[in-house]
Structure 1
Amino acid sequence: MEPPVIFDRAARRLRRDRAQPRFGEHAFLRAAMLEGIADRLATVTRRFTDVLDLGCCDAGFPAPPGAQVARLDAGFAFARAAGGVQGDEDRLPFADASFDLVVSVGVLDQVDDLPGALALARRVLRPDGLFLAAFVGAGALPRLRAAWRQADRERPAARLHPGIDVRAAGDLLVRAGFALPVADVEALEVGYPDMGRLVDDLRGMAASNLLAARTPTTRGAFAAAAAAFAAQAGPDGRVRERFPIISLTGWAPDPSQPRPARRGSATASLAQALGPLPKP
């Protein structure tokens, strides 16, 4: 069965191409995600030789020492700038078991078939290969969502992307066949003086409305949303927006990996482990 069409692939490519020249000015979310991935990678002692960078943007994930990196991005301009190929995360043009590390930064929240994209990432990994990803999750931009709900209260319209929560993300890792899956979330908050600055950031990071069923925005609707957004400002005159960053870690299965003990194989009971209970 074909997955539902949520995003406009053609619009996504176009928005990424438009964002490429000034992307570095708006890349604070990607920078935070890269920092988190670097921290997780620093705890891994093994050496990686073949790396796949999914959603490379214009610079790409920094290559580990001695590793060869293949880069892919949905935008042609990003792919060209990073020396990669253009393609979609849920339609990978790579052979199975081609890499020992797959990294995806800031793009999986814009993919129609996220379960399929994770399954493909698992397939292109060699046994005991590592998958690391980060993307914006459910609950992002609550102030902007509230502003648009108020502006569109008579005619609700699709303005912002749906999000996936951390529990569902972990379940999808398991469904895709990853071993030792870990999913966690950390929120980043940013203060904005007005809605225009936030929209400028979203456009600059190629994260504006990509929904296939999006509705054109009129000047009146934008003005109403901007006023509702400004009304949520704090004492400093800024509106605090929230960006939950979901981080995923998973390994391609391999016999060398630790496995949970078989049920019923314990040699001691819980009562023995706890010892005798104190007398009342």
Structure 2
Amino acid sequence: MDAMQVFDRKLVRRRRDRAAATVERVAPILEDCAARLLDRLDDTTRRFDRALEIGGRGVVAPMLRARGIASVVSADLSPAMAAQAGGLAVAADEEFLPFAPASFDLIVASLSLHWVNDLPGALIQIRRALAPDGLFLASLPGLGTLGPLRQALAEAESALRGGLSPRISPFPELRDGAGLLQRAGFALPVADAEEVAIAYRRPLALLADLRAAGEGNAVLARDPRTPPRALFPMAAAALPAGAQGIDPVLRLLVLTGWSPHESQQKPARPGSATHRLADALGTVERKTGERPG
């Protein structure tokens, strides 16, 4: 197996095809996450006219149009899911984007890039599709998301089968975010994190929402056998419960990057400072290893 191939992309597409009929059930969660991401647009005075949203599942495109963006294209691996946006829709693989260079001045990917095998390559294609000084915004589930469920499934499967297989997708770490953007050629890269608290009265409702959103297991190394009948009820019963039931935390990794342009701020050249930091801080400058006094 190719080391770069972690996910079964054909299975991801089939699951998103099926989820097009059920995704409305989780629209409030998707809308909340998209709103948090699009709040970043309020931090810039730049106006956008041509936007691409990737994998928005019908909630991102209306939000972009409500912000006055005239042209919004919706792309998704699943044609049925792309059509949920209600505007210009394109069935497109995030790993092979079919857009010409500089086609958009804004690209948004809300909770849609975590099933991509070659994320650095996908980011490079996104950057190329941006016009100079165009903005890229993305959110992905970060490390720690669904951690209790991952552990509960592992323990239940070990008890039932004496072994375990991947049941939940691996998620990226925050410290990798800005590096990925920089590697893809983005300017002014920023990565930060937010936590979205969600409460479920019944543990199995969490699993039902994951299926409704098309977020079923698509890891290539998964066990192809039918899961034991008792697996999911046993795992659900083991999830930690609070006063409101179970409360899985969705840790959003938020990425922000700009397509390079000559008007953007650039770091100063080494040695170009005209004032000493020690003077600004009102302290005495010492060499490395030199002790006070």
TM-score, length basis structure 2: 0.88
Task: Report the AA paired with residue 78 of structure 1.
Answer: M
Matched, 1:176 2:184: yes
Q: Which amino acid aligns with 1:123?
A: R
Would you say how many aligned residue pairs link Structure 1 and Structure 2? 275
CA contact (8 A) 1:173 1:181 kept: yes
Pairing 1:233-244 to 2, within 5 Å after superposition: 233-234=241-242, 236=243, 238-244=245-251
Is 2:210 the counterpart of 1:202?
yes
Distance in structure 1 (CA, Å) of the matches to 2:265 and 2:29: 34
1:220 aligns with 2:239: no
Q: Which amino acid aligns with 1:24?
A: E
5+ long unaligned stretches in structure 1: none
CA 1:19/1:224 → structure 2, altered by over 3 Å: closer, same or farther? same
Which shifted more, 23-32 or 260-269?
23-32
2-structure distance, mates of 1:73, 1:204: 16
* Partner-residue secondary structure (3-state), 1:34: helix
Q: Which moved more, 1:201-210 or 1:21-30?
A: 21-30
**CA–CA separation in structure 1 for the residues paired with 2:174 and 2:27:** 23
CA displacement at 1:43 relative to structure 2: 2.0
1:57 aligns with 2:28: no
1:80 aligned partner, one-letter code: A
SS at match of 2:125: helix
> Where does residue 40 of structure 2 map in the other structure?
40
Q: Which residue of 2 aligns with 1:260?
A: 267
Alignment of 1:61-76 (within 5 A): 61=61, 62-63=64-65, 64-76=67-79
- State whether structure 2 residue 146 is matched by structure 1 residue 141: yes
Q: Structure 1 CA distance, aligned partners of 2:104 and 2:122?
A: 15
Supply the distance in 1 between the matched residues of 2:266 and 2:11 (Cα, whole angstroms): 44
Once residues 127 and 251 of structure 2 are traced to their aligned partners in structure 1, the CA distance between those partners, rounded to angstroms, is 24
Separation in 2, partners of 1:183, 1:276: 33
User: Are 2:101 and 1:96 aligned?
Assistant: yes
Which of 215, 219, 239 does residue 211 from structure 1 map onto?
A: 219
Shift of 1:81: 3.1
Is the deviation greater in 39-48 or in 242-251?
A: 39-48
Matched, 1:273 2:280: yes
TM-score (norm 1): 0.92
Q: 5+ unaligned residues in a row in structure 2: which ranges?
A: 285-292
Is residue 251 of structure 2 the alignment partner of residue 248 of structure 1? no
Question: Contact 2:169–2:217 (CA<8 Å) still a contact in 1?
Answer: yes
Letter of the 1:146 partner, please give it. Q
In the alignment, which residue of structure 2 is the partner of 1:77?
A: 80
The corresponding residue for 1:129 is 134
CA displacement, residues 29-86 of structure 1 (integer Å, 9 cap, x when unaligned): 3212211122111222122121111113134422242521121011111122324011
Code of the residue aligned with 2:141 in structure 1: it is V
Supply the AA of the counterpart residue of 2:95: D
Whole-angstrom CA distance in 2 between matches of 1:193 and 1:146: 20
- The 8 Å contact of residues 109 and 137 in structure 1, kept in 2 or not, is answered as no
Q: 1:113 aligns with which of 114, 118, 134?
A: 118
